[in-house]
Amino acid sequence: MTLYLMLLIVGAAAGFLATRFMRLEADVPTTVAIGMAGAVVGWLVLRVLMALTGALALFVGAVAGAMLVIWLWRRYRA
């Protein structure tokens, strides 16, 4: 029960952010569904990466995250 509630909350937040980042106009149920699907896909991808590469996946994720932060900083700084 709590897993589904967490998936719903994370999905709603992720869907909201993803639709804003990708400039997609969608109603609330669609936004939540997109976020929940994204949460499941992201979880599966990370699980596979961790199973295959272990700590290397963490490093790759950290580098990708840092690159995303730099891109966002360059794009939205005043």
pTM for this entry: 0.58
Are residues 69 and 42 in contact, defined by beta-carbon separation less than 8 angstroms? no
Instruction: Give the pLDDT of residue 12.
Output: 84
Residue 54 has which token pair? 């272990």
Please give the pLDDT value at position 47.
83
- Looking at residue 56, its pLDDT comes to 76
Give residue-wise pLDDT tens across range 19-60.
888 888 888 888 888 888 888 888 888 888 778 777 777 777
Output the CA torsion 56→57→60→62 (10° steps). Answer: -110
How far apart, in whole angstroms, are the C-alpha atoms of residue 4 and residue 53? Answer: 28
Q: Which residues contact 26 (CB under 8 A, 6 or more apart)?
A: 15, 19, 34
